[in-house]
Amino acid sequence: MRKNDHAEPIKGVINKLCLKDIEIKGKRVFLRVDFNVPLDENLNITDDGRIRSTLPTINYAIDEGAKIIIASHLGRPKGRVDMHYSLAPVAKRLQRLLKKEVTFLPDCIGPKVEEAVSKMSNGDIILLENLRFNPGEEANDEKFSKALADLADYFICDAFGAVHRSHASIVGITKFLPSACGFLLQKEIEYLQGVVNNPVRPFVAILGGAKVSGKIDVLLNLTNNVDKVIVGGGMAFTFLKAMKYNVGDSLVENNMLDLALTIQEKLASKGIKFYLPVDCVIAQSIEPGAETKLVTTQEIPNGWRALDIGPASVKLFSEALESAKTILWNGPMGVFEIDALSRGTFAIAHAVADAYALTIVGGGDTDLAVSRAGVAESISFISSGGGAALQLLEGKELPGLSALTDR
């Protein structure tokens, strides 16, 4: 059980049909999921979190006696069959997790698929081959969308990680079938839309990652409701350079300097506290084993680049989190994949996990960071979709959500 299970999602406005709104007993349900799992060189699944996250939706459909046709993409095969991206390993893992037979089909449309679907009994599960083996998927081709829709009576979308894509199995299929969201998609929207629209306060946003340009719209969208903004990672040094600090060879977007100052002024005018690193770990290259030094952010020498936040920044940021009731974290504090540059990110992960608050981690490799820090079980909610989460936090429309049937 997670430490923060006491923390309920902030209810977002779900004005779409949801799985429990429809009667699926004996019906053929086309379930679009995000099984885009990482594979090693031997095509073994290295992390099955995305499969596990859809199990509540699948098990509900089994219990209700639906005939379940599951579809997903995996990787970027670019519209052609490439067995490195086959969903065959996923079928085996899904079968093991469900403790129930999963029939894997080597295509996603065509006579053989139609025949297999026609023979399904209530509670049966079919997993189709990678949707992106067909060029019609990413092209949102109407003919391909119709062929997918013809397999089922209802469309259920539980692929939050793909709802920012206007693809056939996300958007096109909804033209032909009554469409609803699964439990994972519903939960993602409730947490992320809720934190943007109506957070429990004080609300602290932690933003990291490489570039300011990737987070500008998130920052601007959150200014209406956030109480504190903490910025770390490479993007912090664009703000620091805009304040006339010498940042050495640290990553800076020079075309963003004026905008960085404008954002700070906007936050200040609204009384929002803004935190930047006060010290950092620097190196001359991003290589394992490279020499590192700890300096203040005002003393980064030329030829050196900041690659992690330092202990004083960790203390400053952790104290800023102490009073929080809602924490949203998107983007690491440094190059945490390298041990010598991981301490800042991992320390913030522990501070977020220890906070008595609703804690939401979304995208930007932050989910991997909290997992490596060993605190994933103590986070209230970890979003399953990087790009989709970012788009939602920016206040932008998600095509795959908009396409679902209104209540």
Measured CA to CA, the distance from residue 253 to residue 242 in angstroms comes to: 10
Percent of the chain whose predicted confidence (pLDDT) is above 70: 97
DSSP state of 8: P
Q: Are residues 103 and 252 in the same domain?
A: no
Q: What is the mean pLDDT of residues 210-231?
A: 90
Non-local (6+) Cβ contacts of 243 within 8 A are 261
pLDDT at 200: 92
Same domain, 266 and 338: yes
Confirm whether 350 is domain-assigned: yes
Is 364 annotated as catalytic? yes
Tell me the residue range of the domain where 384 lies: 191-393
The catalytically annotated residue of 3, 211, 293, 315 is 211
Number of domain units in the chain = 2
Tokens of residue 200, six digits:
């429990």
Based on the residue annotation, tell me whether 211 is a catalytic residue of this protein. Answer: yes
| Three-state SS at 293 | strand
Within this chain, do residues 276 and 147 fall inside the same structural domain, yes or no?
no
- Determine if residue 282 is left, alpha or beta; phi over 0 gives left, psi from -120 to 50 gives alpha, anything else beta: beta
Predicted confidence at residue 327, as pLDDT, reads 96
Q: Which pair of tokens denotes residue 402? A: 């908009």
Evaluate if residue 5 carries a pLDDT over 60: no
Q: Is the dihedral of CA 255, 342, 366, 314 positive or negative?
A: negative
pLDDT of residue 224 exceeding 50: yes
DSSP letter for each residue of 367-400: HHHHHHTT-GGGSSEE-S-HHHHHHHHTT---HH
Tell which of 181, 208, 241 closes a domain: 181
Cβ-based neighbours of 285, under 8 Å, separated by 6 or more: none
Look at residue 269 and tell me whether its pLDDT is greater than 90: yes
Residue after which a domain boundary falls, among 118, 147, 181: 181
The bridge status of strand 292-296 relative to strand 273-275 is unpaired
Residue 274 falls within a domain, yes or no?
yes
State mean pLDDT over 253-267: 94
52 pLDDT exceeds 50? yes
Q: Which pLDDT band holds residue 390 (cuts at 50, 70, 90)?
A: confident
Is 92 within a domain?
yes
Catalytic residue among 172, 364, 385, 400: 364
Checking if the pLDDT of 192 tops 50, the result is yes
Q: Is residue 406 part of a domain?
A: no
Q: Assign residue 98 the CATH number of its domain.
A: 3.40.50.1260
Contact 148, 71 (CB under 8 A): yes
The pLDDT-based confidence of 1 (bands split at 50, 70, 90) is very low
Nearest by Cα to 137 from 172, 112, 111: 172
Asked which of 140, 157, 181 is the last residue of a domain, the reply is 181
Of 28, 50, 241, 305, catalytic? 50
Confidence of residue 3 (pLDDT cuts 50, 70, 90): very low
pLDDT in tens, 118-164: 999 999 999 999 999 999 999 999 999 999 999 999 999 999 999 99
Q: Based on the fold, state whether residues 109 and 172 are members of the same structural domain.
A: yes
Residue among 237, 257, 233 at smallest CA distance from 247: 237
Q: What is the mean pLDDT of residues 77-105?
A: 97
**pLDDT tens figures, 330-355:** 999 999 999 999 999 999 999 999 99
Same domain, 137 and 227: no
Would you call 271 a catalytic residue per the annotation? no
pLDDT in tens, 353-385: 999 999 999 875 898 899 999 999 999 999 887
Which pLDDT does position 13 carry in this prediction? 52
Closest CA relative to residue 51, chosen from 115, 102, 111: 102
Do residues 252 and 378 both lie within one domain? yes
pTM recorded for the entire structure: 0.88
Please provide the DSSP assignment of 235-255 as one string: THHHHHHHTT---TT----GG
Per the prediction, the chain carries an average pLDDT of: 93
352's tokens: 């977020």
**Do residues 55 and 171 share a domain?**
yes
Catalytic residue among 49, 75, 79, 387: 387
Q: Tell whether the model's pLDDT for residue 12 goes beyond 60.
A: no
Confidence class for position 8, pLDDT limits 50, 70, 90: low
Show the tokens assigned to 379. Answer: 């986070």
In angstroms, what CA-CA distances link 317 with 19, 273, 350? 40, 11, 12
Give domain status of residue 404, yes or no: no
